[in-house]
Amino acid sequence: MIKNDLFLRALDGESVSRPPVWMMRQAGRYLPEFRALRDKYDFFTRCRTPELAAEITVQPIRIVKPDAAILFSDILVVPQAMGIDVEMKENVGPWLPEPVRSASDVEKVIVPDIRESLGYVMDAIALTKEELGGEVPLIGFAGSPWTIFCYAVEGKGSKSFDTAKGFCFSRPEAAHELLRKITDTTIAYLKEKVRSGCDAIQIFDSWGGMLSPEDYQEFSWKYINRIVEALAPLTRVIVFGKGCWFALREMASGKASAIGVDWTCSPENARYLTGGKITLQGNFDPSRLLSPPATIRKMVHEMIDRFGKDRYIANLGHGILPNIPVDHARAFIDAVKEYESKA
């Protein structure tokens, strides 16, 4: 039994006294406790060591006290499990020494046995649930197939992902085969996360906004939707696409429990585009957490007024930045908790 189930009730569309709140990347670099572990262990060691992953997941629950925990991991453990080498380079970020650039490269990519290749994630879920002690729900996550595809083909982060897009446009059959393999792996992975104890799932489409609306439908949304349809009978699913305001109507027409919104789309427009009948999550500009706490509080209350307290989860419009003072992150969380509807 979860003591604070506000997050789950908001996902279910129930009327609540105030919106629940959590922050994308809340288990991360803005916390001194996280940085202490980062200085001792490299990135993927932290991901692959259940005790470390559980500790990092629970840190923000103790320190800033959001209404949900999100498992510390990374979207790139999925391509690693598929036989694609992924490194985390200092001052570079994700680095894939042998990117997927041809049909024969796609053939070599495997759809793995999840328990065998990603069992450490399931162990981290079990430990995290134990440490949470039923205090708040636990969110599991994965990258969208398109976002994973971008890294697999580009070989690193990019401002345009033109190599990945070029692969889609010049070799569409091979591109769709790689996207299918990523989708099949992601479905199996997320189902195992739910079986292991995650209370909800979020799909991050970090690079969906790189595509035109037409190409988004072909190379991203149809694969996300396959994941949503596979997971929706088992758990609550949130879809978050950065820069994907143009697809909000389509996203809301499926079986997702909630749609994440970034800070470039107004609450009013997000409600309009989604028909006003689905839970929305977002969309405070992460950089705005550099404002004074009193300003943060005022802006958060205005944001909730604009979204409405029901069918809404307060969050950032993307991940929290590493230079945000902990007191400012706490001010964001506390502002939501202090909110009282004027209705």
Spatial distance between the Cα atoms of 58 and 236, rounded to a whole number of angstroms:
21
Residue in 5, 46, 48, 151 annotated catalytic? 151
- Of 9, 38, 180, 226, the active-site residue reads 38
Please give the helix or strand (H or E) that residue 236 lies within, else none. Answer: strand 236-241
- In this structure, what token pair is assigned to residue 326? 């902990």
Q: Note whether 245 and 260 are within 8 A (CB).
A: no
Other CB atoms within 10 A of residue 311 CB: 23
Torsion angle (degrees, nearest 10) of CA 165, 166, 167, 169? 90
Is 151 considered catalytic here?
Answer: yes
**Candidates 9, 12, 41, 74; catalytic one:** 74
Closest CA to 301 of 280, 326, 331, 269: 331
Please tell me the distance from the alpha carbon of residue 261 to that of residue 233, in angstroms, as a whole number: 23
Neighbour count for residue 19 (Cβ, 10 Å): 28
Dihedrals phi, psi of 23, to nearest 5 degrees: -130, 130
Active-site residue identified among 9, 29, 101, 180: 29
Active site residue 25: yes
**H/E segment holding residue 237:** strand 236-241
| Helix (H) or strand (E) run with residue 256 in it | none
Q: Is 271 a catalytic residue?
A: no
Q: Read off φ and ψ for residue 100, nearest 5 degrees.
A: -85, 115
Catalytic residues: 25, 29, 38, 74, 151
